[in-house]
Amino acid sequence: MKPSEIIIVVAVLALGVGLTTRFFISPADITSPAPLVAEFNLPDSSGKAHSSKEWQGKIRIINFWATWCAPCRKEIPEFIALQTKYADKNVQFIGIAIDEQQAVSDYLKTINSNYPMLIGGDAGMAMTQQFGNRIGALPYTVVVDTQGHIVHQQSGEFSTEQLVKVITPLL
């Protein structure tokens, strides 16, 4: 056999072994731990600083939103209802506005929010990327388990039904 034929045979065998291995080992068999949520310190609409450590040990639903985002504003009343329903089950919603403080303050006067609404401002968009938002979509929501691991990421609107399916196993 010529050296070039030997190289071709070895390459074909290597390809076959690789494809066979991929077939028998599914991605579900290769587990990596869920990423930990990044810590943050942000002010609320009145300027009072809040640390993410305030909610350690809770199931956290962190929602990035903006006052100019219609799907974001549509989610908020649903999140308010879910915060009421699950507050006694160790669930904490946290809103992070990608907006200016005055716009958020004005908007909050029109709703009766029962969970913290923090101001991320322009830096908040970069923060969404730290939380896995690769496309820069709003709304963007992450669900964090009691150990601080991100267990779900949602670009775009998050329906009540979808969210309940995600958090129910964590309760």
**pLDDT tens readout for residues 77-113:** 999 999 999 999 999 999 999 999 999 999 999 999 9
Q: Indicate the helix (H) or strand (E) that contains 60.
A: strand 59-65
Structural domain span for residue 85: 41-170
pTM for the predicted model, two decimal places? 0.78
The chain-wide mean pLDDT, for the chain, equals 84
Q: What is the pLDDT of residue 10?
A: 42
- Contact between 45 and 101 (Cβ < 8 Å): yes
Backbone dihedral angles phi then psi of residue 117, each to the nearest 5 degrees: -115, 110
What is the distance between the alpha carbons of residues 94 and 52, in angstroms, rounded to a whole number?
9
Burial of residue 5, with CB atoms counted within 10 A of its CB: 0-12 exposed, 13-18 middle, 19 or more buried: exposed
Residues 48 and 76 placed together within one structural domain of the fold: yes
Residues 97 and 148 placed together within one structural domain of the fold: yes
**134-153 residue pLDDT tens:** 999 999 999 999 999 999 99
Give whichever of 1-5, 12-16, 139-143 has the largest mean pLDDT: 139-143
Domain presence at residue 96: yes
DSSP-derived pairing of the beta strands 41-43 and 91-97: unpaired
121 or 115: which carries more pLDDT confidence?
A: 115
Domain presence at residue 127: yes
Domain count, the chain: 2
Residues 71 and 135 placed together within one structural domain of the fold: yes
Confidence grade of residue 26 (pLDDT, cut at 50, 70, 90): very low
Residues 19 and 71 placed together within one structural domain of the fold: no
Domain presence at residue 24: yes
Q: What is the pLDDT of residue 63?
A: 97
What is the distance between the alpha carbons of residues 171 and 166, in angstroms, rounded to a whole number?
10
Residues 113 and 134 placed together within one structural domain of the fold: yes
Q: What is the pLDDT of residue 7?
A: 46
Report which residue type is found at 110: T
Residues 24 and 54 placed together within one structural domain of the fold: no
Q: What is the pLDDT of residue 25?
A: 41
**40-49 residue pLDDT tens:** 999 999 899 9
- Contact between 64 and 133 (Cβ < 8 Å): yes
Domain presence at residue 17: yes
Residues 54 and 16 placed together within one structural domain of the fold: no
Residues 152 and 89 placed together within one structural domain of the fold: yes
Domain presence at residue 36: no
